[in-house]
Amino acid sequence: MKNILVSGGAGFIGSSLVAILLHKGYNVTVVDNLSSGKIENLDSFFSSDRFDFIQMDLLEIEGLSKIIERCDVIFHLAASADVRIGHVNTEIDYLNNIVATRNILECMRRSNKCKKIIFTSSSVVYGDASVIPTPEYYGPLKPISLYGGSKLACEALISGYVSIFGLTGIIFRVANVVGPSSNHGVIVDFVRKLGASDGKFLNIFGDGTQNKSYLYIDDLIEALLIGMGDLTSSLEIFNVGSEDQINVNSIARIICHEFGLEKVNFRYLTEWEDGRGWPGDVKNMLLSVDKLKKHGWKINYSSAESVSLTIKKVTEYNNKTIPRRS
């Protein structure tokens, strides 16, 4: 029975992964500083004698070392997840992504048993890719945000530790992930904005034509579990996303339709000539997932289906604040 550590396990993706790992019979330890994760995401797990939660910052390397020594595999999900924040605070991505990842790898180097890391990177490492769908071998990689740069730096650190110290690293470059307990992103943002405006208008960053892949949480978890298996190389990189795209305008229309709002005024906040939403916003993103599919992974939801399904779940907690009007 493997002992698994999930960093950032109190977050949206992390808690969803923990639920599946416990269901499959693993012993799971979550380390999370609760800066963005929520303890209530873990409430249903505390009754299990195979679950342990430790509130800790990954910058505390000595305490982290003791925890990692008890584990066989690490799912490293903890990160600063807001791409936009690097525009106003250049330290957050460096500390919470790069330094935190280095600390985990250093503890693994010292460990006698924990030698495998499964890391959630991001599609934004590709920057404004000229090849769509973008394969894993695309290059050179030119991130256009500090978040993307920090994720690419983490990938490089993992590659170095794998090569020098004999670790195994599985890296997943993940598209936009949505699901019932999403707490940030375009869907949650739009629902909150519609509530604040009483359904009269919706402020949209950019020109609304930003076209991206959206991945439902269940499909992502199935991909991450493939990283638990025996792969041919000690370092593997996989794209994971849907095989189609949906633009921001379409997402806004789906949300409005869900609430019966037919006359919402879309207000576009455009500061960039090419219509992107903010500094570092990748306007067009679609990943090639052929490599992952060869390992048995399949997609159950398209981008539009992922968005629609998420809206139905998210709005269960928000629809009282948004008037339904025809």
Q: What are the residue numbers of the active site?
A: 147
How many angstroms separate the CA atoms of 80 and 199, rounded? Answer: 31
**CA angle centred on 128, ends 126 and 130, rounded to 5°:** 95
How many angstroms separate the CA atoms of 189 and 47, rounded? Answer: 33
Contact of 25 with 51, CB cutoff 8 Å:
no
| Residue partners of 35: CB distance under 8 A and separation at least 6 | none
How many angstroms separate the CA atoms of 75 and 7, rounded? Answer: 6
Q: What is the DSSP string of 250-283?
A: HHHHHHHHHTT----EEEEE--STT--SSTT--S
Instruction: Give the number of other CB atoms < 10 A from CB of residue 208.
Output: 19
State the residue for tokens 């490599």: 291
